[in-house]
Amino acid sequence: MTDSEPENAEPGEREDSEPEESEAGDASPRERRFEIVATVLLALTALATAWSGYQASLWDGVQSSNYTQASAARTQASQKLTEANQFRLADLSVFENYIDATLDRDAQLADFYRQRFRDEFEPAFEAWTALDPLNNPDAPASPLAMPEYQLANDQEAEELTARAEAKFNEGEDANRYSDTFTATTLFFAAALFFAAISERFAYRRARAALLGMAAVGLVGGTILMLTQPVTTG
């Protein structure tokens, strides 16, 4: 009998251990669910972080390109304005010499300067002459003050300046988009942190709370990310 008691006790010990195995079996699915949720959150957040970083980098490139184009356009506009002023001075000088020769009644010299009027100056001179400036006190002081006096370089300078402003504004927008995409990575970093640290806790409520905060960070960052325009560089 004595020898058989231990043998009889073994089934009892197995019976006592079966609930423990059952309890472990009940907890295992929950554990797996936590792990699945954490893995999904980590995977989605990693992808979202990579996409935000990629877009931030692209928008930085767009910003740099727009600023460069704006600077180049301003430089060209400045050059065109300088050329326009040079033409304006040349027209004024020839016109003054023409007037002096006319007042001195030197027809040959006046005709010499008259033939050297530039094409852009001609319409303004004709319109000014039609006003009879010698007898009309209301006439402008010179053809350069007439509306007909239009320099192509002035117009090009205005167009280049407008282009520079537009490119600069586009660069400012690109900078804002890049900053916003960078800001979304803060949300994703928080999501990664909470999802990763949840694996360190055995307390289910703590793990659930951490995973919930990770989900909030992922959703918040995703919403902010989706409100921004996408560029291909």
pLDDT digits (tens, 9 = 90+) for 188-230: 999 999 999 888 877 888 888 999 999 999 999 999 999 999 9
Instruction: Sort residue 222 into left (φ over 0), alpha (ψ -120 to 50) or beta.
Output: alpha
Looking at residue 15, what is its pLDDT? 40
Average pLDDT, the chain: 87
Looking at residue 28, what is its pLDDT? 60
How many angstroms separate the CA atoms of 71 and 199, rounded? 52
pLDDT digits (tens, 9 = 90+) for 113-137: 999 999 999 999 999 999 998 888 8
Looking at residue 95, what is its pLDDT? 95
Q: Which residues of the chain have pLDDT under 70?
A: 1-28, 233
Looking at residue 9, what is its pLDDT? 44
**Model pTM?**
0.72
Alpha helices in the chain (DSSP H): 4-103, 107-114, 122-130, 152-197, 204-226
Reference 178, options 43, 53, 48, 46; nearest CA is 53
